[in-house]
Structure 1
């Protein structure tokens, strides 16, 4: 079942048409969330990011778009798909209503909530082959729009096809200043000794929820020296460890980049702390 503007409809229903602005112009935002036994991981952070993003894109925020209202719509969707007693992956999409060309006729919005089952209720590290490569066909622009979770993901789509065609599990993207920005599906962290860093938002990376949570965790620990700093491609092969973060997987260790193989010591240490933060949230 799909939740379309508060109405639960079958997944095969024709509830959108060719005038949808998300389809025509990518005029849409989305949040991907993990929901376990009806609890939305880091819901306040997801909600605040969505509201801030809607303001930046000049979407009109409905009066009933409160945290409580949208939380209720998400839980209704999870329940309609019989997922209240297990782990679910939820996508909340908000798009500007039909009308206009580049210039919209209205800034009013609609929303869709989708829910699908997930295997594990916790963030776990998967011990599997995970090789990455740089994606250099196209570059990320280092501006505020790049930090938003919009439907404009064509670079990620083409990069994912490139990765699949060449036997990689993921790719790392560069901005137009040739700095490593993020992975195709999440933020990137680099470990060298006790030092950990991730690119700053001004480099063009997504303002990720788990990125934010891990930064808070790292800044509270005396074990590591953390900084938000540029990452050059030359640093990748000198690192001890690389890992990717997003709200669904949590932490994904990178096993190999070119001839360099990595450990997952820090990722193993942090995943338990991330699960603890999710339970307390």
Structure 2
């Protein structure tokens, strides 16, 4: 079941050939983790969506308040009997049908779906997790590349490449050959007491979990935090590498090429992240 513009209905009754999200990738989405009816980091998700809609020149309905969209998400959680569980919620906004590349109007519709996930809080996955670089295609840094949009061809092709090569994930490079992000999240590098993540100007996703980890790091005087470009050559010199997204939290990388990594810093940050979730 899905919530389509406020109506709970079957999920095969919405998509048509004229849907602009399907036809042109003219859509945005937010992936939100819900825990027992609570939407984690909901305010950050909401304001990222509003900002992204403005960048895409979509018309934001007056009804699209934070309270309205939260209530619509709770509708689908209730219909799927997920208010007492944890769930992965996808909130998609697409421009209304009409036009070719040039839309005939900038009004929008929304679709919300939800699926159960196993854990209420973020757990440390210490199993083998190997990554490599994906170099077939590159991210072109711009404001559009920071958006959570339906234009994710490089992530799809990169995921197929990772599976073909028995990898758990891949790092994407931008056109300047800097490491931008992983296929499904932002990347952080630890070297000594310095922790780095690529800046948004390098073209990485403006990740919600990226923001939470940065806020945690800014309160820890024992670390120097930097938003700086990461060269592929730095990866093998790092002490730790980890990926962040709102569903997994923090995923430590155990191996990149011949280098193996610890996860001590990632463990400590995950504990602080769970405290942030409980207090938030």
One fold, TM greater than 0.5? yes
CA-atom RMSD in angstroms? 0.7
Shift of 1:279: 2.2
Superposition map of 1:127-206 within 5 A: 127-206=126-205
The equivalent residue for 1:118 is 117
- 5+ residue gaps, structure 2, are none
Q: Secondary structure at the match of 2:90?
A: strand
Cα displacement string for residues 17-54 of structure 1 (whole angstroms, at most 9, x for unaligned residues): 11000011100000001000000000000000000000
Quick one: distance in 1 between partners of 2:242 and 2:18? 40
Separation of aligned partners in 1, 2:34 and 2:222: 31
Give, in whole Å, the separation in 1 of the partners of 2:279 and 2:153: 35
TM-score if structure 2 supplies the norm length? Answer: 0.99
- Secondary structure at the aligned position of 1:69 is classed as helix
Alpha-carbon distance between aligned partners in 2 of 1:227 and 1:271, rounded to the nearest angstrom: 19
Aligned to 2:6: 6
Which stretch shows the higher mean deviation, 27-36 or 125-134?
125-134
CA distance, structure 2, for counterparts of residue 16 and residue 184 of structure 1: 26
**1:65 maps to which residue?**
64
Helix, strand or coil: the match of 1:129?
coil
Corresponding residue SS for 1:217: helix
Alpha-carbon distance in 1 for matches of 2:222, 2:76? 41
Structure 1 residue 272 displacement after superposition: 1.2
Give the match for residue 99 of structure 1: 98
SS at match of 1:196: strand
CA distance in 2, matches of 1:156, 1:229: 22
Distance 1:14 1:37 in 2: 28
Name the CA distance, whole Å, in 1 between partners of 2:199 and 2:175.
Answer: 15
Question: Which residue is equivalent to 1:16?
Answer: 15
- Cα deviation code 1:146-178 (max 9, x no counterpart): 000000000000000000000000000000000
Q: Count residues with an aligned counterpart.
A: 280
**Counterpart secondary structure, 2:63:** coil
Cα separation, 2, equivalents of 1:248 and 1:235: 27
2:239 maps to which residue? 240
Q: What TM-score, normalized by structure 1, do the two folds share?
A: 0.99
* Unmatched segments (≥5 aa) in structure 1: none
- Partners of 1:38 and 1:141 lie apart in 2 by 37
Distance 2:77 2:174 in 1: 37
